[in-house]
Structure formats: structure tokens, C-alpha cells
Amino acid sequence: MNDLGVAVVIEDDADMRNLLEGILLQSGFEVHTASDGRNGVDLVRDVRPTVVTLDVGLPDIDGFEVLRRIRGYSNAYVVMLTGRTEETDLLTALHGGADDYITKPFRPREMRARIAAMMRRERPQTPAGAPSAPQSEPLPPQEEGTESVLRHNGLALDCRTRTASVRGKALELTRSEFDLMQELLRGAGAVLTKAELVRAVRGRYYDQDALIGDSDVRAMEVHIANIRRKLGDDPDSPRWLLTVRGVGYRLAKPQ
């Protein structure tokens, strides 16, 4: 087995399948491929990969159904790929448990950067055969001078245990949602651009000069919408998150 473990490519287009296989091999994975959804599901079950790249438009069952089946027994990182740009595809992928979503065509460097950022995050441990659920990963040791618990208007984020609560009640956040809220709370009310927040989701190893596309921004906006929903934040009188039109987001004023 190669250094980074196993990757599975589920892609019906032979040229794209070969490109993805080459990128993953060069990155240090042992790579297995499937050209349709059903074989892909079986392959993921058999080889237990760390990373899966999954095409949305497969010839037998679509990628969203493949994702649903994979999430029944695997906690692998899943990157979905599509040539379509519809908002509904992005929402379906992220709500279905995908870790990332890339629109074709993409640059090999972009794919490598996305995967590298994911691999530097601890994988959630899910018992075999159990549905995968978003879990919090431990944070590396805090840098000197940073606070372990960030607070704002009754919301508390513990950066060491990766847990969140609102007025003492547990708040379930995914990895990406936690990273976004952590970045905003550390900003202490400063406006953070959408590009800065995309990099917060991608991780600090996502190159500063890496291309941030529309799909990256839309994915980040979906995460923000999910955070607002979980917080029960009133869009007309927000307690936590304010949209700065054309720029990004910031915290609401302390109350």
C-alpha cells in the first residue's frame, strides 16, 4: 500500500478516469477505479479507501445515490465531480455527506490541493456498517496567545475539543461549519471576505494563490446557511451572522 493509503475513482469517462488515477498515484495513493456506480459502491466496500472521487453523472445510478450508499458503511473523504453548475447539485452533494465538490474542468493542481487539505484533517471514526455522521476532530495544540474557548452572544466554541454550544445546549456542527465559525469568532467582528472563508474551510494548507471558483464560494455559502439554520438565527434581526453584501460575512454586534 502506498504512503497515503487507498483511493477509489468512480468515473465513467475513460480520459477523466485516467487523469484522476494519475493525479492520485502521483500524490501517493494506491488507486482503484470503477466505471459505473454499482461497481464503485462494491469497490469502496471491498478496499476501504481513504479518499473517493465520485462523478455525479454515472451511466447506471447517479453519483448522489452512490454517495448515499457509500455513507451507509464508509467514512472516506468523498470529492464529487460534475460538469454541471446547478445550485441544487451542490446542495444535494453537501447535504448527502460529500466533503468537497469540484466542477469540471479543473486543474490537476487544484485537485491535489483539495485532497492535501482534507488529508491533514483527522478522519471521523465510524463503526463498520453504521451511517457516517459529521464529527468533530481534535485541533492541533493551540498557538501561544490564542483562546481555547471563543464566545459571542451565548455561542461558545471550544477549539481544543471541537465542540460548540448555545447557552449551554450542545450545537452539532460539521468540520467545515466549525472551521467557519471559529474563523469568524476569531475575527472579533471584522469583515471576512468569501475567499478568506473558503480558505478557512479548505484548511491553511490550501495555497493562497489557488483558484477559488464559483463552486467553492457556493459551497461556503451553503455551510453558512446551515449554520444559521442550526443556530435559529433570525435573518431580519441576526444575533450571530451578518452578510456584508458583495464582500463576505462578519459577526453581529455583541448583545
Tell me the pLDDT tens digit for each residue of 168-206.
Answer: 888 888 778 888 898 899 888 889 888 888 887 776 545
Q: What is the percent of the chain where pLDDT is above 90?
A: 26
Q: Residues 17-23: what's their mean pLDDT?
A: 94
Of 248, 235, 243, 217, the C-alpha closest to 90 is 217
For residue 54, the 8-state DSSP code is E
pTM of model > 0.75: no
Distances (CA, A) of 242 to 34, 116, 120, 218, 249: 44, 31, 30, 17, 6
Highest mean pLDDT among 93-102, 132-141, 195-204: 93-102
**Minimum mean pLDDT range among 7-21, 134-148, 158-172, 190-204:** 134-148
Question: Rounded to 10 degrees, what is the CA torsion of 233, 234, 237, 239?
Answer: -10
Q: To which residue does cell 446551515 refer?
A: 226
- Where helices occur in the chain by DSSP H, the ranges are 14-27, 37-47, 63-70, 87-95, 108-119, 175-187, 194-202, 214-231
Q: Is 30 exposed, middle or buried (0-12, 13-18, 19+ CB in 10 A)?
A: middle
What structural domains and CATH numbers belong to the chain? 6-119 (3.40.50.2300), 149-251 (1.10.10.10)
Of 52, 137, 44, 135, the C-alpha closest to 93 is 52
Q: To which residue does cell 445515490 refer?
A: 65
Q: What is the pLDDT of residue 2?
A: 56
- How many helices (DSSP H) and strands (DSSP E) are in the chain? 8, 12
Handedness of CA 231, 232, 236, 238 (dihedral sign): negative
For residue 225, the 8-state DSSP code is H
Q: Do residues 129 and 120 touch, judged by C-beta distance below 8 A?
A: no
> 51 has which bridge partners?
7, 77
Mean pLDDT of the chain: 81
